[in-house]
Structure 1
Amino acid sequence: MLTTPERHLIDKPGLTTTVPREYVHRAALSEVFLTGWEKSGNDAFTVTAQWPRSHSFYTPEHDKHDPMLLCETIRQCGMLLSHTAYDLPLGHQISWSRVQYALNPQAMRIGTKPAELSLHVTCSDVRTVRSVPTSMVMHIEAVRDGSLLAVASIGFTNYSPAVYERLRTGRSDATRLSESAPMPPDPVSRSVAGRQRRRDIVLSPTQERWRWQLRVDTAHPVLFDHPLDHVPGMLLLEAVRQAGHALDPSSGGALMPTSMDVSFNRYVEFDAPCWVEAESVSSGIGGARRSVRVNGLQGGTFAFTATTEMTDMSSV
C-alpha cells in the first residue's frame, strides 16, 4: 500500500513554468517566453515556448501574433542554450551578427488559448576557447500544433566581461549610458509607423521622405527591460518593420513582416543619431507581398543592413 507522500507524488499533475530569466537576459518574468529545453542529438535541441494571446508591446494585429514576438523568442533561445547547453557563464555578453526568419502567416493566428511552440534547434560553426563558446550559428524550426510556423537562423558572438570592456572602450557602463542617453525626438505619426501607441514608435521624421532618425527611448519597459550600453537588436528589428510599413502607410496597419534578413555590423550608440533609410526592391513578388531594403547608418558607416518582405494581411 502506498504511503501518503508517495501517493501525493504520483497524483501531482505536471507543472509548467518559464526558464530562469537570467538565462535569457531579462529582468521581468513576464517577458520570458521559453518554458524548457532538452537535448535531442549532437548539437541539437528542442526548446519549448509559450506566447500570450496579448502583449503590451508585441501587439497582435489582424488576429495574428506579432512577428517580433517570434524574433524575441529566437533571441531568448540563443541565450538559453548558450548558457545551459554550452556552459557560457552568466555575465558574458552575447552579440548578434545576423538574424534571419521566414514565417507562415496563417500559423501565426491567435487561438482561444496561449500558443505553445516547439523550437527544433541545430547548432553549427561552434567555436570555443578553453571550452567556452565564443561564437556559433543556430538554425531553428518553429512548430505549432504540428505545423511549421517559421524557419530562422541566428549568428552571434560571445564576449567575456573583460573582453567586452576592452571592446567597448569605456562604453560598457550600461546604467550610466542608459540614464545619460538623449531624450528621444518626436515620433512619426501612428499611421506611418503602423503602431497604436506613441511610445512604441522608433522612427522620427526628417526632411527626406524615406529617411528617418532612429528614436531611442531608454525608458521603454520592454525594449529596455533592463539598462543597456547600446541600442538593442530588438529595437533595430522594430525599426526595420516600421520603415517597411512607412513606405506604404495607406495599408492601414495591415502589413506584416513575414520575413527578414538582418546583418549587424557595429553597435548603435546612444550619443549620435542613427539614420534609417528604406526603399522598395523590385523582386517580382507582386500581389500582396513586396520586398523592402532598410539600412541603418551611424557615424557615416552602416550599423545594420536588412531586407524584409512585407505582406498585406488584408489580402491573405
Structure 2
Amino acid sequence: MAEPRPYLAALRYPTLTTTVPKELVHRAAVAEVMLTGWQREDDTRFRVEAQWPRSHSFFTPVDGEYHDPLMAAETIRQVGALLSHAEFGVPFGHQFLIREIGLTVHPEHLKVRQAPASLDLEITCVDVKRRGSCLSGMTYESVVRREGLIVATGRTSFTCVSPAVYGRLRPQRVFRADHRPVALTAPMAPQSVGRTSPADVVLSPIGHSNRWLLRLNSRHPVLFDHPVDHVPGMLLLEAARQGAAAALNRSTFLPLGVKTEYKRYTELDEPCFIEAHRLGPATPGGDERVRVTGHQGGALTFSSLVTAAPDAA
C-alpha cells in the first residue's frame, strides 16, 4: 500500500497561503512576489490579497518603523500584470508600459509590527481599452487595507502590446546581444538620498546640488529582477524618491504621496539626468512638494510629484 502523502491533504485547506505564480506578476524571483490571491467581483472589480514582509532587502523599513511606501507601489504594479494575464487574457510575452503611477499612503497604518502585514486590495478598472478582442491597456484604482484600515490608495495606467508591435516600436539596437547599459557610476552618499546601502542608490553626483546622473546597476537583484531592454518604471520611481530626499535634505524619508507620469522609454545605453526642485512654500498642512524629472537626449522621459510630511526636525 502506498505511503500517505500529507502534503496532498494540506492542499485541500483553502486557508493556507502561498504567492500567486511569479510569471503572472512579471517577477523572476518568487521572493519578490507580493500577491497571494485574487477573486473576481464582476467584470471591472476585483479583490486581491497581498503580504508584506517585516523586512526586505530593498524595500527596507523607513527609520526601522514603517513599511516602505514604494512597496505599496510595487504591490499595486503587480496587480495590473496579474489581472491582465489571469482575468483579461493577455498572453505571456506581451510587453507592458506603465503610463502613470499615483500613490498616497497613510503612515499611521504603515507601521511594522511583529508579523508580516496581510493586505486586502480593492481594485476597480475604470478605463479598459481593447484592440479587437485583445486588451491594449487600462487604468485601475486601488484601495489597500490592513485589518480594515486604509494603508494606501493608488491609480495606475498602462498599455500592453504584442511582441511584434513591440519590435516595431523599439530601436533595433536594444535587441542585439551586445546591448549594454551605460557604465556603472559612483553612488551618492546613501544618507543624502534617504537610503542606508550604497548598492540601493540610483543617483550619481555630477557637481550640481539638484541634478544627478541616473545610476544603473543591472545586477541589482530587485530593480533588475530580470533582463530588460529599457530602464524599469520602478527604478525611475525610486529615482524620484531619492531626488526628493536629496532636495529636502532628508536622511530618513517617508513620502506621503507620489504621482509619476512616464512620457517615453528611458533607454539603458544613454545617460539620463535627474533633476529635483522644491515647489514653493509648503502646503497649508505643512507638507512639502518636490518635482522630479528625468531627461535623456534633451527629451523628458518622466515627471514625478513627490509629497512629504513636514520635517520633524
Structure 2 length as normaliser, TM-score? Answer: 0.92
The match for 1:72 is 74
For 2:159 and 2:203, the matched residues in 1 are separated by 28
Asked if structure 1 preserves the Cα contact closer than 8 Å seen for 2:193 and 2:251, the reply is no
The match for 1:154 is 156
Q: Are the structure 2 counterparts of residues 144 and 283 from structure 1 closer, same or farther at C-alpha, using a change threshold of 3 Å?
A: farther
In structure 1, runs of 5+ residues without a counterpart are none
> What secondary structure does 2:76 align onto?
helix
Letter in 2 for 1:257: P
| Identical pairs, percent | 41
Letter in 1 for 2:192: V
Asked if structure 1 preserves the Cα contact closer than 8 Å seen for 2:195 and 2:251, the reply is no
**Which of the residues 295, 300, 306 maps onto 1:308?**
306
> What stretches of structure 1 move > 6 A for 4+ residues in a row?
none
Letter in 2 for 1:185: T
> What secondary structure does 1:291 align onto?
strand
Aligned length: 306
Asked if structure 1 preserves the Cα contact closer than 8 Å seen for 2:181 and 2:270, the reply is no
Q: Are the structure 2 counterparts of residues 12 and 138 from structure 1 closer, same or farther at C-alpha, using a change threshold of 3 Å?
A: closer
Asked if structure 2 preserves the Cα contact closer than 8 Å seen for 1:202 and 1:239, the reply is yes
**What whole-Å deviation, never above 9, does each CA across 1:165-200 have from its counterpart, x for those lacking one?**
1100314538653xx222211111112111111110
Structure 1 length as normaliser, TM-score? Answer: 0.92
> What secondary structure does 1:217 align onto?
coil
The match for 1:280 is 278
For 1:92 and 1:308, the matched residues in 2 are separated by 31
> What secondary structure does 2:172 align onto?
coil
Q: Are the structure 2 counterparts of residues 297 and 151 from structure 1 closer, same or farther at C-alpha, using a change threshold of 3 Å?
A: same
For 2:227 and 2:311, the matched residues in 1 are separated by 35
**What whole-Å deviation, never above 9, does each CA across 1:86-122 have from its counterpart, x for those lacking one?**
0000110110011101110111111110001111111
In structure 2, runs of 5+ residues without a counterpart are none
Q: How much has 1:258 moved relative to structure 2?
A: 1.1
Letter in 2 for 1:159: V
Letter in 1 for 2:212: W
> What secondary structure does 1:138 align onto?
strand
The match for 1:190 is 190
Correspondence 1:24 to 2:22: no
**What whole-Å deviation, never above 9, does each CA across 1:11-55 have from its counterpart, x for those lacking one?**
857311100000111000000000011111231001110000000
For 1:11 and 1:203, the matched residues in 2 are separated by 48
For 1:85 and 1:129, the matched residues in 2 are separated by 16
Aligned-residue RMSD, C-alpha: 2.0
**What whole-Å deviation, never above 9, does each CA across 1:257-311 have from its counterpart, x for those lacking one?**
1101110001111111111011101254266520001110001010001101022
